[in-house]
């Protein structure tokens, strides 16, 4: 009898736990609640990198990483302006996230195992596949990074770039003179006054930084890509639902591109018969609710910033001064690596 009682009690406890647990998983993201209570999203972004995060002369933030935070704000508030951008340098970005100063870090940050496992942060999804490159002055007549033996290289500190640089020179038995600066601004300025022969950062950044040089056309980006730099937005570890919101906001944008949904036609697409599109835009299913959002969250995202391809082209691609090709960031159907996970 006692046994039975015990078993019943245990089963009841498990059922309770499951019930409460399920409820907890539904919409009980502490970060989401804090963001909603505050009325705006705190987004850590670059502030110095053309194409990715840069305030214009009027103080409006623009860029690929900036768009992502606007997309999040649209998903949460149906208002892409409810974002406060916090400009961060490489050196203080993780501390800002760990300490709760920002809710999400959307600042061209490489997803590495060490960062993922030791910093108390989680990466949501790779929204830009990048790799490190070198820029040199044309007058040096260098055609390959392998010719840079004994060259001095300006680099920003606290980045994977700093490590890849030392690795690459060591691996190729070249001697390196690195000059390290705390911010990209200082590093590029030093390169521009020819304190260094070369400037190195992620190749996306090289195109952006080149625009800020006194004579952009006198500089070339060398063909070598010396590292893998999967750039991803990051969140604090321990709030899985919040991480899901960030992750699926990215996938919704990629899915929209795959399905041909864009900023212009999104209203018409609400009437589409295609089940994938109906689920994406919340006409069918409860997908938004399970994140603690409204079911038409992805509709708001696309209405606000467009699909992945639109954001890419507007900020860093053909619609921008950077003119970066889609390359690895093309959809998987077009030979790239961007693959929208199914919403169902």
Partner 1 sequence: MPEIVRPSSSSRTARRAGNIALQIALVVVAGGLAYAAIHNVAQNLANAHITSGFGFWNNTAGFDISQTLIDYSASTSTFGRAFWVGLLNTLLVGALGIVFATVLGFVIGIARLSRNWLVAHLAGGYVELIRNVPLLLQLLFWYNAVLKSLPQLRGSVTLPGGGLLNNRGLFLPRPEFASGFGSVLAVFLCGIVATGVVRMWARRRQDRTGAPVNIVWPALGLIVVLPSIVFMLAGAPLSFSVPRMGRFNVIGGVEIIPEFAALLLALTIYTAAFIAEAVRAGILAVPHGQTEAAQALGLRSGPMLRFVVIPQAMRVIVPPLTSQYLNLIKNSSLAVAVGYPDLVQVFAGSVLNLTGQAVEVIAITMAVYLFISLVTSLLMNLYGYAIAVEER
Min dist CB 341 to partner 1, Å, is 25
**Which pairs with CB-CB distance under 8 Å and at least 24 residues apart come from 110-119?**
110/159, 110/160, 110/202, 110/229, 110/230, 110/231, 110/232, 111/230, 111/231, 111/232, 111/234, 112/160, 115/234, 119/94
Judge whether 143 and 168 are in contact, CB under 8 Å: no
Q: In the set 33, 36, 195, 303, which binds partner 1 (CB under 8 A)?
A: 195
Min dist CB 250 to partner 1, Å, is 23
- Residue 72's DSSP bridge partners are none
Contact region for partner 1 (CB under 8 A) — 42-50, 127-135, 168-176, 277-285? 168-176
Residues 280-319 touching partner 1, rule: CB under 8 A, are none
| CB-based contacts of 76, cutoff 8 Å, min separation 6 | 32, 35, 36, 41, 82, 245, 293, 297
Pairing of strands 41-45, 83-87: parallel
Size (the chain), residues = 344
186 binds partner 1 (CB under 8 A): yes
Min dist CB 188 to partner 1, Å, is 12
For partner 1, the closer of residues 143 and 194 by Cβ is 194
For partner 1, the closer of residues 10 and 172 by Cβ is 172
For partner 1, the closer of residues 50 and 154 by Cβ is 154
Q: What Å distances lie between residue 138 and 176, 179, 205, 206, 218, CA to CA? A: 20, 20, 18, 15, 6
Question: DSSP for 223-256?
Answer: S---S-EEE--EEETT-HHHHHHHHHHHHHHHHH
Residues 89-128 touching partner 1, rule: CB under 8 A, are 90-91, 94-95, 98, 115, 117-120
240 binds partner 1 (CB under 8 A): no
For partner 1, the closer of residues 8 and 91 by Cβ is 91
Q: In the set 25, 27, 182, 328, which binds partner 1 (CB under 8 A)?
A: 182
Contact region for partner 1 (CB under 8 A) — 176-184, 206-214, 272-280, 306-314? 176-184
Contact region for partner 1 (CB under 8 A) — 146-154, 255-263, 286-294, 311-319? 146-154
Min dist CB 128 to partner 1, Å, is 20
DSSP state of 187: H
Return residues touching partner 1 (CB under 8 A): 90-91, 94-95, 98, 115, 117-120, 140, 148-152, 157-159, 162-163, 165-167, 169-170, 176-182, 186-187, 189-190, 193-195, 197, 236-238
């Amino acid at each position: 009898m006692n046994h039975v009682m015990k078993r019943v009690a245990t089963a009841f406890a498990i059922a309770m736990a499951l019930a409460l647990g399920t409820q907890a998983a539904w919409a009980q993201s502490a970060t989401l609640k804090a963001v909603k209570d505050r009325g705006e999203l705190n987004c850590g972004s670059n502030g110095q990198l053309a194409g990715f995060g840069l305030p214009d002369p009027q103080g409006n933030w623009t860029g690929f990483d900036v768009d992502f935070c606007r997309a999040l704000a649209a998903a949460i508030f149906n208002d892409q302006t409810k974002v406060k951008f916090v400009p961060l340098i490489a050196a203080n970005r993780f501390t800002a996230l760990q300490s709760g100063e920002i809710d999400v870090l959307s600042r061209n940050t490489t997803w590495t195992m060490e960062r993922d496992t030791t910093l108390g942060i989680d990466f949501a999804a790779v929204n830009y596949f990048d790799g490190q490159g070198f820029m040199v002055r044309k007058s040096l007549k260098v055609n390959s990074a392998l010719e840079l033996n004994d060259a001095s290289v300006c680099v920003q500190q606290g980045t994977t770039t700093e490590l890849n640089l030392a690795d690459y020179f060591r691996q190729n038995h070249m001697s390196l003179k690195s000059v390290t600066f705390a911010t990209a601004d200082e590093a590029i300025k030093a390169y521009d006054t020819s304190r260094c022969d070369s400037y190195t950062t992620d190749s996306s950044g090289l195109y952006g930084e080149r625009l800020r040089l006194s004579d952009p056309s006198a500089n070339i980006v060398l063909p070598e890509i010396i590292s893998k730099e999967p750039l991803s937005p990051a969140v604090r570890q321990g709030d899985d639902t919040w991480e899901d919101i960030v992750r699926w906001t990215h996938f919704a944008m990629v899915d929209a591109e795959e399905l041909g949904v864009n900023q212009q036609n999104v209203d018409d697409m609400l009437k589409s018969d295609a089940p994938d599109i109906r689920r994406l835009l919340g006409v069918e299913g409860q997908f938004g609710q399970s994140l603690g959002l409204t079911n038409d969250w992805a509709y708001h995202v696309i209405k606000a910033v467009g699909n992945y391809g639109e954001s890419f082209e507007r900020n860093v691609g053909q619609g921008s001064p950077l003119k970066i090709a889609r390359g690895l960031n093309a959809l998987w159907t077009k030979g790239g690596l961007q693959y929208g996970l199914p919403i169902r």
